[in-house]
Structures are given as structure tokens and as C-alpha cells.
Copies of this chain bind each other. A is one copy, B any other.
Amino acid sequence: MANGRAAMQRQTDLATVPAPGCPAFAFNMCCALKPDARGLPADMQAQDVAVAARRTIWRAGETIDGVPIICQGWAATVITLSDGRRQILAFLLPGELVCASLVYNAVSPSSLEAVTDVHYRQFKRQAIRAAMERDPKLTLTLAKLWADENARGDRLILDLGQRSADERIASLIVNLADRLARRGPMPDGTMEFPLRLHHIADATGLTAVHAGRVLTEFRRAGLIELSDRALTLLKPDELRRIVGLL
């Protein structure tokens, strides 16, 4: 791993900063936990971890001693079948809670993999639970996050069960674009898009070959531009129409 040392460095740097670049959603919890680390050393409350792209962070069924929130980079939750088939349950963007159920149960239902280089911060389960008991509003925040997680799952079920390849991929793109737009402006409709074909394939239940075909088809139709890990929505409305929204 070329960036092993770089990652290490980043890790120690960040340990000194309360909430690094970590934007948006789960932010509520970062804020609520960090300020009142009364008496406890910082590393008792949360632990910073850096992982290189394409690494498996943990496997389904493993015990996770904390609740991770993504700070930088993209990750994915994955289920693997014994014969090697893989299904991506969700992509996790910076600022997102990895898995709400980890607040109550240490056993992870799915594997976690780094798509890009990832930096995440793992909060002590007890610290979060304690904070929620102190401030009931945090319980509502968690419930909201958990419900969002469900909503994304339900949408994926709909995509996989009812939609064609074109629709699934349009749905994925629109979904990611909306989530990214929510946490910062997207100049010229361009967003970072670090996914490989096999990520898209594993997330949409298609093969990488076919996912590639659909994308070139979208390119030729002038719907998107995609190169160098950057994706531009040229006709966002047309994409949304394919998905059936709008």
C-alpha cells in the first residue's frame, strides 16, 4: 500500500481536531459528543481510523466496538453470498452514520468496504447511548437517521425488484447526486464519482459489462458526462424522468 504512511499521518492530524471536514447529517451527534468530553481523554470517546481504497474494513457478523461515522471518502456496505455473488446495500458518503443498528447491537449485519481512501471516526457505543439519555432529542435524531436508512433500503428494493437496467442506473446516479447536492453546491452539475463499474454492478444487481453498456448509452444520449472520476448531469430532468420521479 503506497499511502499507508500518508494515511497514518492524516489519522494523527485529525485526532487533534474535534470534527474534521465531517459535514452535515450525523453532525448533530459529533457536536453533542465532542464538546462535553468531561474528564475523559478524547480517544476514549472516539477513535479515528484511516483505510485505503478497496480495503475491507470489517466483515458481516463481526463485532464492532463502536459506532462509525464516515468523515472522508466513500464506503459501501456489502453482503456476500458463499458462491461469491456480492450485493452492495448502500454507499456511504462523508458525514453519514455507517449503520444505525450499531448503536444498539455490536454485531454488524453487513461488511463494510472502502470505495475510495476513507477516514472514519468510531464513537464509543456507551458514549452515544449516554448522550441520548441525557438529551432525548438525540434519540429523535437517531430515529430520523435510522428511518432515512430504511427509506434508502426500500428504494433499493423497489429498484431491484421492479426497474430495468437503465432505470436502476439512472436511479443510482440521481440518488447520489441528490445526496451530494444536499451537503454542498454542485458547480455545473458536476460531482465527484469514484465508483467503478463493478461497484455500480454490485449495487444494481447487474453485471459490470452491462452496467458499462448502459453508461455509454447514457453518454451517447447526452444525458451525462463521465470521466476521471467526475460525473456531470447534462440533462438531470431527463434522468429523473427515466426513474419515474418528475
A-side residues, CB < 8 A to B, are: 79, 81-83, 85-87, 89, 101, 103-105, 109-110, 133, 136, 139-140, 143-144, 146-147, 149-151, 153-154, 156-158, 160-162, 204-205, 244
Contact = CB atoms under 8 A, between A and B. Distances in A.
12 contacts: A79-B157, A81-B244, A83-B244, A85-B162, A89-B154, A101-B146, A110-B154, A139-B139, A149-B150, A153-B154, A157-B157, A157-B160
A61 B204 CA distance: 26
A89 to B, nearest CB: 6
Contacts of A85: 162
Contacts of A104: 140, 143-144, 147
Nearest to A107: B147
Given A85-B162, A143-B101, A205-B161, A109 B149 contact: no
A81 B153 contact: no
Q: Which of A79, A86, A162 has the most CB of B within 10 A?
A: A162
Contact of A150 (B140, B144, B150, B156): B150
Given A89-B154, A101-B150, 13 more contacts: A79-B157, A81-B162, A81-B244, A82-B244, A87-B158, A101-B146, A101-B147, A150-B153, A153-B157, A160-B161, A160-B205, A161-B204, A162-B205
